[in-house]
Structure 1
Amino acid sequence: MNILHDFDYYAPKTKGEALELTKSLGSSAKVLAGGTDLIIMMKEKMIKPEAIIDISGLEELKGIVCKDGQGAEIGACTTISEIEFSKDLAKKYSALTYAAGELGSNQVRVMATLGGNCCHSSPAAETPTPLSALGAKVVISGLEGERELPMEDFIQGNRKNDLQLGEIVSKFVLPEPAPKSACRYGYIGLRNAMEIDAVNMAVNITLEDDGAKIKDVKLVMGSVSPRPLVSELVPGLLKGTELTEELIVKAGEAAQSEAKPISDVRASAEYRKDVVGALARRLVKEAYEAAKEA
């Protein structure tokens, strides 16, 4: 039966108290924000923490702040649903709000948090890919202070990240989008319903002042590597060019050559490779056309 084991439960009233608890309890404790991943793992007996530190009620870890010309900050305990429906975020970071809306069911999205989705560090997670493409930084807090990491450096592998004992993720910082830029997100699954992505991808393109030549591009793949995979070949191929159908095809081939997917119950490695090419071709073209209109 899926019955939880006995554990100590803590509900800190402040961020400082939460950090004290995470430091003192160490590896015997798990931090709970939304619980949509953690509780399932506990029910399935995958983990048996001696203590749970519930930070879901900490207002200082919640909220979305967007400032003109200054990017945005999103608290780690902000729910996926709040991100999905944020009009302020949608104006600047539509790739992120779209990805949030494709995560699980509505019941999951009103509980799950951005921090939890990233800290769970699943290769197929929806939000790390657009966060990485958008240049987001993860702000990590401990009793000794704060440090920042790019999204793609924070996640180290399947359910592994750079959090040290006594640390929690407190917020995410997104830079102001560059002029003449656009980011697009897409994914492929095996059915049009709740599922874990077979592949997901985000592409962020910035154009030169002429509105035609590509100044910069960042293509990030999910579910084809233990961590978000940032393409090295696609920028070298596209920067300084005006996009053509031939370059779109080459970008797809380049992304495919970098992807290192595995076969599992959701898709074969070969299928994932094909999907990477298709997504790269579509999203590069969509991001480029959107950047021309920005």
Structure 2
Amino acid sequence: MTIEKIILQNDVRGISKLSNFTDSESCSSASNLILRNPGTVFITTGFFILSAQAPETDGPPGAIFLGNALEMLGYKVVYVTDKHCSFILDNVKSSQSSIIEFPIFDLTQSKKYSKKILEKESPSILISIERCGASFDQKYRNMRNQDISDNTAKIDCLFDLHPKTIGIGDGGNEIGMGNIETHISKAKTLVEYPTLSKVNNLIIASVSNWGGYGLLAALSIKSNRNLLPNVEYQEEVIKKTVASGAVDGFSGLKENKVDGKDLEENSYILNLLHELVKNKLNL
């Protein structure tokens, strides 16, 4: 089984039906883009759950695991999020990484701020994992078609200004899903108004964290070292995000789940990727 098929298992939204419209080796392609561009990496995440007035558990763990792995490969890691998620990332990130808290500005101010931090930090690559992007009318919407613009920093502006970008998503409203926007619009089980935000390399997954795991598996194979987190650490980080205020995106409750999937389900996918990496590396 390929990495891409593993991360699309247990799909409840129907995102896997769009795999024909994406790169069949999306994780490998994205890992190539990363490895060709050493230096500073921006990783953005944080999706606001309106009913809970808090960010969800999908995104931050995957972002942290990607950041940890890229630090092992020599990258400088900068997380970019807004006020709702910065505290959660700060509680689980490594000591050498940093956080830029992107203000919730209007579009004009957001573009100016994006240019400012890109010039200051000079990232070689941008990665988004489960971060909302604007739809056709510049509004940010959740899976229930509710407007969350007032609680969502326009971080997708960064991706409009940078030539090397990766997006990971699972529903159609995340940064990068603009690559397949026309197909998302036709899918009745996904968002009604997909984002227009595009990236160089798009990874789709049943759960965005799993897309991050898939990217880590591909990076592991190419760098000849297993960069995946172990199951215990994965569960610890999910629990820490909940303890810091994150909620399950499906229920809106502070429980140790990601998109309705419990720790065991998340660990099952991670273990499948560990087995694949071990077989490829003959470990």
Scaled by the length of structure 1, the TM-score of the pair is 0.30
Q: Which has the higher contact order (CA 8 A, sep 6+)?
A: 2
Structure with higher helix content: 2
Structure number with higher strand proportion: 1
Max Rg structure: 1
